Amino acid sequence: MTKNKAVLDWIDEQVKLCKPDKVVWIDGSNEQRDALRAEACSTGELIKLNEQKLPGCYLHRTAKNDVARVESRTFICTETQEEAGNINNWCDPKEMHAKLNALYKDCMVGRTMYVIPYSMCMPESPFAKIGIELTDSIYVVLNMLIMTRAGQKVLDTLGDNPDFVKGLHAKKDIDEENRYIVHFPQENSICSVNSGYGGNVLLGKKCFALRIASYLAHNEGWLAEHMLILGIEYPNGELHYITAAFPSACGKTNLAMLIPPEIFAKQGYKVWCVGDDIAWLRIGPDGRLWAVNPENGFFGVAPGTNVKSNPNALAATRRETIFTNVVHNLEDNTVWWEGLDKNPPKNAENWLGEKWDGSDGTKGAHPNSRFTAMAENCPCISKEFNNPAGVPIDAIIFGGRRAKTAPLVYQSFDWNHGVYVGSAMASETTAAAAGAVGVVRRDPMAMLPFVGYNMGDYWAHWIDMGKKIPNPPKIFNVNWFRTDDNGHFIWPGYGENLRVLLWILGRVAGTVGAVESAIGYLPNPEDINIEGLEDSGITRDVLTGLLSVDKDLWKEDADSVEQFYNKVGDHTPAELRNQLAALRKRLG
């Protein structure tokens, strides 16, 4: 399929190491995909679902000990530890290669090695980067065919260029003790072993499009970010694009596919999804920041997805989707998960494949069960989704989950202050997760586990980008999660978040004013449209409360930011320490 010597030599080496019985090149054809689906069904790796109700859909179960990303076993192996920084796990590359080579040795005897050439972004886009993943998992192949642009056309685009990201994945024994997800940014390569879970093995996603790409972006002058991209269409047809970064469990996919509340829909407002997880951003010829979604599908969390919370995501999963670790409804050979509806199937198997009907109080789907669905099957996918030039960004939003500290929305004073706001992002743990409730986890730019180099250098790169973008987007912070004295969320969220997004775009356009405060520009309460929210308990007074700032809490938060800066260490840019000092001064 290619004469590219760098590709062929590298594959040769990996074949000698892993010793697969067979090597199969993935060409991207439907015929090959269908044959692999059939093979996976014959071995039990996939279960074919009801073709009438869920055409082209399959169910997969991972091993019980292999259900999520494992940050403790994820490494950034740069030449020096300083380059990886204090936040990443680091190991000397030579030592790590020796360890990995011992694990990979002969690991594919009796198995097939699949060669997946893939492109992050449309191959013809100036943003595009090419990778090749070698894997012994058909599940990985079929997921990569949804999540990336893969096959012969990618090799044709690569030609004899030796510049591609090398990825080697082996399921081996799914042994937790020897599980490794390792990045060698200086070698442009990724190694994954002993896992079959998506985030650890779909190497185009977190490993390439965030960790390796953030390293490349730092060297090449662009940004690789853990951000959704959405477009808001005004009744007059004008379109504006926003990117937003949120820590996990803050409703990112729901925001990316937001349904406008009825009063806005009637007027003709529409929201379009360009991406739900990752954005690559470059300075365009017009001096603005332009974004593409490098992915081709959604690897979304299933539980909680329903016709109310996210009808667009649900619709995207009704065809050509791979479900992982959800409930198998044996009544009609379909799938179910907690929060889909209130009727767990009576005749079903849980994510472990055990007989289950929900009567014993256990969950049927794993809380991190997933759907892998094609972006083009999402009803609100933007017509710019495949535009190689991307979309121009008006505003960047940083968000978090804060019960009391952050107001509903505020605007940063300028770019550097915005970078400070991103660096200070945090989420408070909820009762849904194990451990103490209300513990603040700092998650700068939602990139804590995804920056492929030193966090301090990553922040410095953001500061530097601000100097290079002639016409930068404005930077905002939002918090949908303020609670009342009884711990209930005050703001209704979901589609109603459009009201906040419209205030943000009003600020960008210069059509609404704001109040200067210690933390940034706050809305005048009358500038956020709350018409029709009476039933949700949102009055002007309640909104005023949502926009209030408790200076004592902010002073405490500043201390926590300082501690985090100290942990990142001496690569923390002086500009951010100055921002922190200025904030403290404004707080008094």
Q: Which of 32, 86, 112, 248 binds ligand OXD (CB under 6 A)?
A: 248
Classified as helix, coil or strand, 372 is strand
* Residue 83 binds which of Mn ion, ligand OXD, none (CB < 5-8 A, kind-dependent): none
* Residue 529 binds which of ligand OXD, Mn ion, none (CB < 5-8 A, kind-dependent): none
- Residue closer to ligand OXD (CB basis): 200 or 572: 200
> Residue 17 carries which side chain, given as an amino acid letter?
L
- Residue closer to ligand OXD (CB basis): 294 or 523: 294
CB-based contact 530:546 (threshold 8 Å): no
Residue 277 CB, shortest distance to ligand OXD, in Å, is 5
From the candidates 57, 250, 273, 380, give the one annotated as an active-site residue.
250
CA 12, 17, 19, 20 torsion-angle sign = negative
* Residue 251 binds which of ligand OXD, Mn ion, none (CB < 5-8 A, kind-dependent): none
Residue 250 CB, shortest distance to ligand OXD, in Å, is 10
Binding mask 267-296 for Mn ion (x = CB under 5 A): ----------x-------------------
Interface positions, 268-287, toward ligand OXD (CB under 6 A):
277
The CA–CA distances, whole Å, from 194 to 173, 210, 490 equal 6, 21, 44
Which residues on adjacent β-strands are paired with residue 133?
Answer: 116, 167
* Residue 199 binds which of Mn ion, ligand OXD, none (CB < 5-8 A, kind-dependent): ligand OXD
Tokens of 48: 């074919």
- Residue closer to ligand OXD (CB basis): 32 or 248: 248
* Residue 407 binds which of Mn ion, ligand OXD, none (CB < 5-8 A, kind-dependent): none
Q: Where are the beta strands (DSSP E) in 293-443?
A: 297-301, 322-324, 327-329, 334-336, 348-349, 355-356, 370-374, 391-399, 409-411, 426-428, 440-442
Phi first, then psi: give them for residue 319, nearest 5 degrees.
-150, 155
Phi first, then psi: give them for residue 363, nearest 5 degrees.
-80, 140
- Residue closer to ligand OXD (CB basis): 199 or 275: 199
Residue 345 CB, shortest distance to ligand OXD, in Å, is 26
Q: How many residues bind ligand OXD (CB under 6 A)?
A: 4
Residue 248 CB, shortest distance to Mn ion, in Å, is 6
Is 249 a binding residue for ligand OXD by CB under 6 A? The answer is: no
Residue 520 CB, shortest distance to ligand OXD, in Å, is 26
- Residue closer to Mn ion (CB basis): 133 or 277: 277
Residue 71 CB, shortest distance to Mn ion, in Å, is 13
Burial class (CB in 10 A: 0-12, 13-18, 19+), 372: buried
The CA–CA distances, whole Å, from 58 to 26, 45, 53, 55, 169 equal 20, 10, 12, 9, 22
Is 444 a binding residue for ligand OXD by CB under 6 A? The answer is: no
CB-based contact 478:408 (threshold 8 Å): yes
Phi first, then psi: give them for residue 113, nearest 5 degrees.
-100, 125
- Residue closer to ligand OXD (CB basis): 300 or 472: 300
Radius of gyration, CA atoms only, the chain: 24
Residue 47 CB, shortest distance to ligand OXD, in Å, is 23
Residue 496 CB, shortest distance to ligand OXD, in Å, is 24
Classified as helix, coil or strand, 391 is strand
Residues 6+ apart with CB under 8 A from 567: 86, 87
Residues 6+ apart with CB under 8 A from 517: 410, 549
250 is catalytic: yes
Cα 141 to chain centroid, rounded: 20
* Residue 240 binds which of Mn ion, ligand OXD, none (CB < 5-8 A, kind-dependent): none
- Residue closer to Mn ion (CB basis): 136 or 277: 277
Interface positions, 48-107, toward ligand OXD (CB under 6 A):
69
Burial call 545-564: b when 16+ CB within 10 Å, e when fewer? ebbebeeeebeebbeebeeb
Binding mask 178-217 for ligand OXD (x = CB under 6 A): ---------------------x------------------
Alpha-carbon distance 163 to 129, whole Å? 9
Alpha-carbon distance 205 to 73, whole Å? 17
Q: How many residues bind Mn ion (CB under 5 A)?
A: 1
- Residue closer to ligand OXD (CB basis): 277 or 394: 277
Residues that bind ligand OXD in the complex, under the rule CB under 6 A: 69, 199, 248, 277
Residues identified as active-site: 250
Residues that bind Mn ion in the complex, under the rule CB under 5 A: 277
